[in-house]
Structure 1
Amino acid sequence: MERMDMEAKIKTEYHLRHRICQVCENGLSSIDEMNLSSCETRVDVLIVLWRSYEENHIKLLCEPFYAQDSSFYVDEEKFAQTEHKYLIALGKFKNHVVELKAKMSTSRSALITVEPPAIIQSELPAIDLPRFSGKFEDWIEFKYKFQSLVLSRGELSDALKMQYLLSCLPNEAASLVRYLPVSADQYEHAWKILSVNYQKNQVIVKKHLDELFSIKPMQSKAASEMSRIITTTTKILNELEALGRPTKYWDDILIHLTIARLDSQSQKIWETLVDNSAKPIEQPSTYADLKKFLDIRQYTLELLEHARSE
């Protein structure tokens, strides 16, 4: 009886997944021709379908035989792919609704007034500036954020960029350039002084490696604990890649370190997947394979926690 009930839920899951994909694909292919009412209806239908799909999936996860079924992780991957399609389509539909409403509002305004609006001179908007901690290992991240937010803005003068830079620095770092006049011709000089002092790649690499090897194991079988390990590892690898370190060749080390930090059940599931893999022996699992597994596993833990809390 339980098997039959589970099979019914699986069929429902397949049907809802197919309907969601249909609504997404058909809608996106004709979004430019949609009027406001049609687009709003598409959003409502998509949300209702997704809620039904998610609710059925959570019930399926609670089935005692489902996690032991060979298609379990295949279905989990399809669920993640469907969610991705749903979120992209929903975002585009909602943006289209906003654009259509804005056009309607503009059209109404044009009917009310025939005089052109007055041009108002406004100040530049405030920039949400990053703060540099003063630590070597945080310099690269600060450098890229500051360059993206400030250096790339051609409308800002070098003198203004210099003021922005000084406002982002802690006392120790600021003391290196505080003696320089706040002027356009000193900005590049200040940036070079800071780069020479803080972009010590060997020191930064060592600190990131120390952090990578000191990540604590999962303290409980919780999605948040798995997320902590995934997020911290990804952050460190991104920073090492930015420094030109060959992290793409570190698969064996990264897999060994990461697996050792997982809960025992997740370790066993990973080992089972590796043992049953169709890959030939000469093609061992990569860190990308593990990362894909961890993303699905984390999402599964989140759904299980949600189901238990209800």
Structure 2
Amino acid sequence: MEQLVKKRAVIKSQVTRFGSFVDEVQLGNKNIAELKTRLKRLEKLWDEFDNIQTEIEENEKVTNQCCQPGWQRCDEQSQSTERETFENKYFEVISHAEEITELNKSVNKTTIVDTYSQFWANLPSLNLPQFKGSYEEWLRFFELYKSLVHDNARLNKIQKFYYLQSCLKDDALRIINSLEISEANYDVAIELLRERYANKKVLIRNHVKNIFELQPLTRESHVNLRKLIDNFLKDFRSLQTLGEPVQHWDTLLIHIVSIKLDKQTQREWETHSKNITTPKLDKFVKVLKEKCQLLESLDGKLANKFNERTNEKVSMHITSNNEKNSLFVLHFLQKQ
């Protein structure tokens, strides 16, 4: 019994010391991190006290069976008061400590937001590309980002990390979302993105697939033809960057793209290249671009003619209405 009372006294003194430590933290004399560590330890003391106090109460019940009734009630009240006093003190210091830690979190968040806003306000404005996680867009994105940010000696790694986050969206952003912004983590973020998207085999396959799956043209249209040329050249140049020997693929690429053209443009290309044994890709692309310019010019002329005719009709309609109005006025005046 004596040993149990001593153990209980040790626990009570630990709670008292913790309360004093909390007061020191509030005065700014102690570290908030140490408070959090001590708080975790103190939370375990409740079970220890409850077990010891319960055992003391059980032992006293056995002892009190031999005592007079008035003494028994006195001992029971004493133990009840002991438990109640400890509970009040324990939960008081626990609540006080938790209030301080929560207040500290709030202050830190405000400081971080203010620092973040100030940091962005001081960064130079850059027109950066956006990347959502498309393999086909990775090379174009990273080459531009690399030249504007990654290789920029005037920016430190934390600044580069902020810029990187501002460029990424959707799947690409989720890859690095778990990383805290720091100099060391910037290199980790770049490496994670490269591991995911700089997969040369996948990139080559996707760009080749895109060329084979170019949208066929069903009629002459400078808009659709321009789109086809742009899409083809984007994938072609990406394959060049990836080191594929596209300079030897002229015949194959011309065939793939030419069968995607509308019938009229196909005939014009066949007529143009009928005396050329091995046509060159750059010449083929040049012919298509010239066709685009021609169609644009024709569409512009047709639009102008349409506008002229519409204006003529509107003018005739207004003139006709004016003549009718004049006749009506003249007729009215004659009656007067």
Alignment TM-score, normalising by the size of structure 1: 0.55
Q: RMSD value over aligned CA atoms?
A: 1.9
Larger relative contact order (C-alpha < 8 A, sep ≥ 6)?
1
What amino acid sits opposite 1:155 in the alignment?
Answer: R
- 8 Å CA contact 2:132–2:170 kept in 1: the answer is no
Equivalent residue number for residue 90 of structure 1? none
State the match for 2:236 in structure 1. Answer: 237
Number of the residue aligned with 1:17: none
Q: Which amino acid aligns with 1:137?
A: E
Q: Is the 8 A contact 1:219 1:225 kept in 2?
A: no
SS in 2 for 1:154: coil
**Per-residue deviation, 1:132:** 1.4
The whole-number CA distance in structure 2 between the counterparts of 1:299 and 1:207 is: 30
Corresponding residue for residue 198 of structure 2: 199
> Hey, what does 2:287 align to over in structure 1?
293
Provide the aligned length of Structure 1 versus Structure 2.
Answer: 184
Does residue 1:302 correspond to 2:296, yes or no?
A: yes
Which amino acid in 2 is paired with 1:125?
Answer: P
Q: Is the 8 A contact 2:131 2:137 kept in 1?
A: yes
Q: What residue in structure 1 maps to residue 262 of structure 2?
A: 263
> Is this contact kept in 1: 2:219–2:263, CA < 8 A?
no
Where does 1:1-310 land on structure 2 (aligned, <5 Å)? 123-275=122-274, 277=275, 281=277, 284-310=278-304
Q: CA deviation at 1:145?
A: 1.7
Identity between Structure 1 and Structure 2 (%):
29
Return the offset for 1:158. Answer: 0.8
Change (3 A) 1:179 1:226: closer
Distance 1:134 1:218 in 2: 29
Distance 1:172 1:231 in 2: 26
Unmatched runs of 5 consecutive residues or more in structure 2 = 1-120, 305-336
Letter of the aligned partner of 1:145 in structure 2?
L
Larger radius of gyration: 2
Distance, in Å, in 1 between the alignment partners of 2:279 and 2:129 is 38
Deviation at 1:129, TM superposition (A): 2.2
289-298 vs 176-185, greater mean Cα deviation? 176-185
1:268-307 Cα distance to aligned partner (Å, 9 max, x none):
22212222x4x5x4xx111111111111111111111111
Query: Larger % of helix: which?
Result: 2
